[in-house]
Amino acid sequence: MAGNNPKNLLVQPKQVIANPTASELREMVAAMPNAKKTEFGNYAVQVKVKARSKKSTYIVSNTPEKHTDQCMTRAKAEEMALFQNEYIKDQVMLVIDGFIGGDPATRTSCRLTIEKTNANIAAMQQQLYFNPTTEELENFEPELNVIYTPNLKAEGFPDDRLISVDLDNKITRVFNSDYFGESKKGGLRMWNKLVYDKGGLPLHAGCKVIPVGDDKRTALIIGLSGTGKTTTTFTQQNSSQPVQDDFVALMPDGSVLGTENGCFAKTFGLNADNEPMIHNAVVQPEAYLENVAVGDDGKVDFTDKSYTENGRATFPFRLIPEAADPKTLPPVSFVLILNRNENIIPAVARLTKEQAAAYFMLGETKGTSAGGAEEAGKALRVPGTNPFFPLLHGQQGNRFLELADNLPFAVYLMNTGWVGGVDGTEFSKKVKIRHSSAVVQGIADEAISWKKCATFGYEVATKLTGMNNGDHNLLNPQDYYVSTERSGEYETIASGLREDRKSHLAKFPGLNPVLIEAIS
């Protein structure tokens, strides 16, 4: 049952329901007018906000030069905090306590306080936190706080919405968004700074452990939401085990810290053939669906994008029998940087450490619905593919190079999009899930033959088991463009990319110039 008022509560509501059980939360969700029970026995909620609200997100700081992202003054943030606190005095609020990270030695305590009217967010967050024991709850002291009022407008801010990130006081306040991602990222964004301050690097990345003989190799998959990070993490090679699907920390000793006890997966196009682990978990009664098409009869349609393509689901990792324990990870073996491209990026390229830091910093990809309508389908550069790093983004690239210099891990660039042209054009070839799986398999088994690409200086694959004869064009785009009499087009794209990349990296204050020099 829900407990008494928790200690250190930052706001004073009309009523507090502290740490309700999963079944109690399920009853609250069932009572929501925008919730439907599905054919799987779980609940789907259609919310108003379809993606994270980047333009409404502000770092609280009077020194904006210390942050790449937009800032708001501390005086204005305090004004909005008082406004939110006054509103909460008349509300029934749920409190969910938990940990980011499962290892007692490295975990971070976090608290979500949210209106009961939006119980689905509380239920979904509870699945992602590592849950405290009964004894730990009695004396729970959150280091991070997320205070969330989905029904309170922040007039004067974009879309009357505000995500206020106070790193100094370790509080994120959310106004007028009912999208679960703001709760999930609210804690993780602040956790990013904690990790960086400890000498590590927070990574917007999945993690898996791949057995190779008697060895186990830890792979990190870095990528923007919707570009194949979760899919690559859950696709199996050598009976590999997924560990995390979204955020990890790489520490100076090579150790990898997990963050979440569950998964927040995209559901558009989800099927049992291509993504069996995720599909099996999503159709369990415990899972929660958000903005997924559900008929009046409870029938779920993962291919319907009439409302949004950014349908989502949460589920606890224990619904994945194959999942590994995030507290017992071997040191990192290799890193994959996903780039959802559509022309001249190969399915895989092997990078030098300097190139790796540069491509990590470039964070090139194609935007998806996860970033909202303003990002979907557009070419993007997001440093580290981590839009949640709250400091100067140049610090990410520098830290990556430091770690790469000191740790024995390899780094690869992976295209999860197309080669040869935009989808649907004459020469476009899709990098399919099976292709990416063959790439990961070849990397883990060290079974890929390489040669240097004269254009970009990285190495491209010349031989890769699992690629059919018709797939070789995915490995060497330059040869493919030449064979289709488009060498001039290739050179034009390559030349433009080279100059544009250098110009882009030069914009980041304090970035190590070695990263710019690595772009050939």
Domain that includes residue 273, residue range: 262-319
Q: How many domains are there within the chain?
A: 3
Q: Span 341-365, mean pLDDT? A: 96
Q: Span 439-464, mean pLDDT? A: 96
Output the DSSP codes for 160-193: G-EEEEETTTTEEEEES---THHHHHHHHHHHHH
Tokens for 309?
Answer: 């393509």
Contact status, residue 200 vs residue 252, Cβ threshold 8 Å: yes
How confident is the model at residue 2, as a pLDDT?
57
Burial of 78 (0-12, 13-18, 19+ CB in 10 A): middle
pLDDT tens per residue across span 311-324? 999 999 999 988 98
Res. 469: pLDDT tops 90: no
User: What end-to-end distance do the CA atoms of the chain give, in Å?
Assistant: 61
Q: Span 180-184, mean pLDDT? A: 98
Q: Is residue 41 part of a domain?
A: no
Q: Is residue 184 part of a domain?
A: no
pLDDT tens per residue across span 100-118? 999 999 999 999 999 999 9
Percent of the chain with pLDDT over 70: 97
Output the DSSP codes for 229-248: HHHHHHS-STT-EEEESSEE
| 174 shares a domain with 81 | yes
How confident is the model at residue 225, as a pLDDT?
80
What's the number of CA atoms in the CB half-sphere (13 Å) around residue 414? 29
Band of residue 388 on the pLDDT scale cut at 50, 70, 90: very high
Please name the residues in contact with 143: beta carbons below 8 A apart, sequence gap of 6 or more: 108, 109, 110, 170, 194
| 368 shares a domain with 464 | yes
Res. 472: pLDDT tops 70: yes
Tokens for 490?
Answer: 């290739």
Res. 79: pLDDT tops 90: yes
Residues 467 and 25: their CA atoms lie apart, in Å, by 47
pLDDT tens per residue across span 229-273? 989 999 999 999 999 999 999 999 999 999 999 999 999 999 999
Res. 484: pLDDT tops 60: yes
Q: Is residue 335 part of a domain?
A: yes
Q: Is residue 48 part of a domain?
A: no
| 303 shares a domain with 225 | no
pLDDT tens per residue across span 41-59? 999 999 999 999 999 999 9
| 285 shares a domain with 139 | no
CATH value at residue 266: 2.170.8.10
Boundary (domain end) residue, out of 124, 144, 178: 178
**CA atoms 505, 507, 509, 510: torsion sign:** positive
CATH value at residue 84: 3.40.449.10
| 375 shares a domain with 477 | yes
Q: Is residue 193 part of a domain?
A: no
Q: Is residue 217 part of a domain?
A: yes
| 214 shares a domain with 104 | no
Q: Span 377-404, mean pLDDT? A: 93
Around Cβ 279, how many Cβ atoms within 10 Å? 18
Average pLDDT, the chain: 94
Res. 412: pLDDT tops 80: yes
pLDDT tens per residue across span 190-219? 999 999 999 999 999 999 999 999 999 999
Please name the residues in contact with 467: beta carbons below 8 A apart, sequence gap of 6 or more: 435, 438, 474, 475
How confident is the model at residue 462, as a pLDDT?
93
The helix, strand and coil proportions of the chain, stated in percent and rounded to the nearest 5, come to 30, 25, 40
| 440 shares a domain with 293 | no
Boundary (domain end) residue, out of 281, 298, 319: 319
Q: Span 436-461, mean pLDDT? A: 96
| 269 shares a domain with 151 | no
Q: Is residue 9 part of a domain?
A: no
| 272 shares a domain with 398 | no
Residues 461 and 427: their CA atoms lie apart, in Å, by 20
More confident residue, 368 or 361: 361
Boundary (domain end) residue, out of 319, 338, 367: 319
Please name the residues in contact with 346: beta carbons below 8 A apart, sequence gap of 6 or more: 413, 415, 419, 453, 460, 461, 474, 475, 476, 477
Q: Is residue 192 part of a domain?
A: no
Please name the residues in contact with 125: beta carbons below 8 A apart, sequence gap of 6 or more: 96, 98, 112, 180, 183, 184
| 347 shares a domain with 212 | yes
| 236 shares a domain with 281 | no
pLDDT tens per residue across span 279-319? 999 999 999 999 999 999 999 999 999 999 999 999 999 99
Beta bridge partners of 264: 314
Output the DSSP codes for 412-451: EEEE-SEESSSTTSTT-EE--HHHHHHHHHHHHHT--EEE
CATH value at residue 231: 3.90.228.20
Q: Span 414-437, mean pLDDT? A: 95
| 245 shares a domain with 99 | no
Please name the residues in contact with 193: beta carbons below 8 A apart, sequence gap of 6 or more: 167, 390, 391
